[in-house]
Amino acid sequence: MNTPESNRVEPAVSQKPPEQTGRWRTVVCGLLLLCAIQLAAGPKIRLSQWETNADSNAGLAEGMAWLRGRLDLPPIVNGHLDWSYPEPTGNPGDPARRLHDTAFVTERGRIYNVFPPMVAILTVILNPVHTFLGLPEGFWPAATSVYLVYLPLVLTGFVVFNRRLNDPVWAAVLTLGWIGGSAVLPNLHAAQGGQLAQTYHVVSQVGLLILAADVMGRQRIWPGLIGLLISTYTRQLTCLYGLVLLWMAFRRHGPRGVMLCTLGLAFIAAPLCILNHLKFGNPLDFGYRHIYVGRETENMAVNCLTHGAFSPRFIPTNAYYLHLAPPRIGDVSLTNINIQEDNPFGTSLWITTPLAVWAVVSVRQWWRQREARWLMLGTVPVMLGLLCYHSPGYLELGYNRFALDFLPIWLLVAAPFTRGGRRTWISAALIAWGLLYFQAIVPNVRIQPRTEMRGVLHQGDQWRSLSRSC
């Protein structure tokens, strides 16, 4: 018999769709990742002090020169760039007269930036905004660097790893291990001081991950080209990943795709070639041999001037520093490891970031995936170029920054094979090793008064003195 109680309808319990629940889970994991990086590495990167000015950053100085209608950089006079471009007195090729690792073209008597033009382009684009805000000329506030360098690094890494894994928790763990347990962290530390080469290493990671995500995802070509543009305009050698995009375009879209991809590659390469021609008289000359004017007795200068910027004879030395070189440890304490400065050319990737070993151990698994296979093969020309370069890198005490030209791709391809059973615990141990190692070797950033930060960044002077003494 029906009773009023039996006929009563219970209120429906509100349930969120699985997609909405997954979205919120991803957002929470991303926020926790940002918090974890700040807790683990905040004192080492000190985002509030990411101020940069033209007196310590050749890319920013080049952008300011463009705004004045010039390609060449002014000389340093009394510790500052002299934008009146005075005639040189004494030795015009003296490295003390120019920013660190800028080129002096003896035939023209001019100073040029040899690094890719990403920062110069952004300086020109952002100049009206900075002027409107009343910022000093040739100055980037911390917010500019944080929004253009740091946040894209973290968010792109997390999103790309999550798309590969479809697991935001493990994606956050791997992203933390990659940023805090690899050469990314010391380069973030140096980028805080306005060092251009190290800043470019950080930004290039964003481009490489965007490119890799397109190759392993929907293969629409244009995202991959955007990623390649970002990486090439910060690290020129990564242009070789264009070969992977050409293969992808052919497999996915046929001859028409190859034609469109080729046009995209030409669009990326043309400005660089034009700049090279205007500066150094050759579209393929990036000017690196000119940075050694006045420094001809240095080992790297001898290598470059004698054998060229790239030569197979450099492979044994570079392979040693990339794969075998141990860190030369000085003082050790519970919280810090001081790396001796008698080896500024790098330390083995496998010692500093053992998580990369999964790219080798899982070769049988990822080789079965066509896109992963070709993406990994695409790292071979880049690694070969690095091995043939006349220098294994410099001012990289206890790590190898050139490995960042392929490391994010290795980790992304191997990501699905880093978990499951014992692999999860092994990966956790490898990540912990990397985190603890880089926590120990990367020093904390000294808190500086804002007035001091807006002067000539002290690290720029330190780097110039180091380059002259080596």
Mean pLDDT over the full length of the chain: 88
Q: With CA atoms as reference, report the closest residue to 40 among 394, 435, 381, 422.
A: 435
pLDDT exceeds cutoff 50 at 464: no
Name the least confident of 161-175, 273-287, 291-305, 448-462: 448-462
The whole-number pLDDT of residue 446 equals 80
CB atoms within 10 A of CB 138: 21
Residues 251-272, mean pLDDT to the nearest whole number: 94
Identify whether the C-beta of residue 247 lies closer than 8 Å to the C-beta of residue 374: yes
Which residue stretches of 324-457 are H helix? 349-352, 358-361, 363-367, 370-388, 407-414, 422-441, 450-453
Identify whether the C-beta of residue 223 lies closer than 8 Å to the C-beta of residue 231: no
The whole-number pLDDT of residue 311 equals 93
Phi, psi of 329 (to 5 degrees): -90, 135
The whole-number pLDDT of residue 126 equals 95
Residues 415-425, mean pLDDT to the nearest whole number: 94
Strand 76-77 and strand 80-81: the pairing is antiparallel
Spatial distance between the Cα atoms of 363 and 348, rounded to a whole number of angstroms: 20
**Alpha carbon distances (Å) from 238 to 68, 97, 211, 232, 300:** 30, 31, 11, 6, 22
Any idea where the domains of the chain sit in the sequence? 34-469
The whole-number pLDDT of residue 346 equals 83
Residues 381-385, mean pLDDT to the nearest whole number: 97
CB atoms within 10 A of CB 16: 10
- Residues 83, 88, 94, 98, Cα dihedral to 10°: 10
pLDDT more than 90, % of the chain = 66
Residues 452-461, mean pLDDT to the nearest whole number: 45
Q: With CA atoms as reference, report the closest residue to 310 among 236, 259, 364.
A: 236
pLDDT exceeds cutoff 90 at 194: no
What digits encode the pLDDT tens for the residues 108-150? Answer: 889 999 999 999 999 999 999 999 999 998 899 999 999 999 9
What digits encode the pLDDT tens for the residues 66-77? Answer: 999 999 999 999
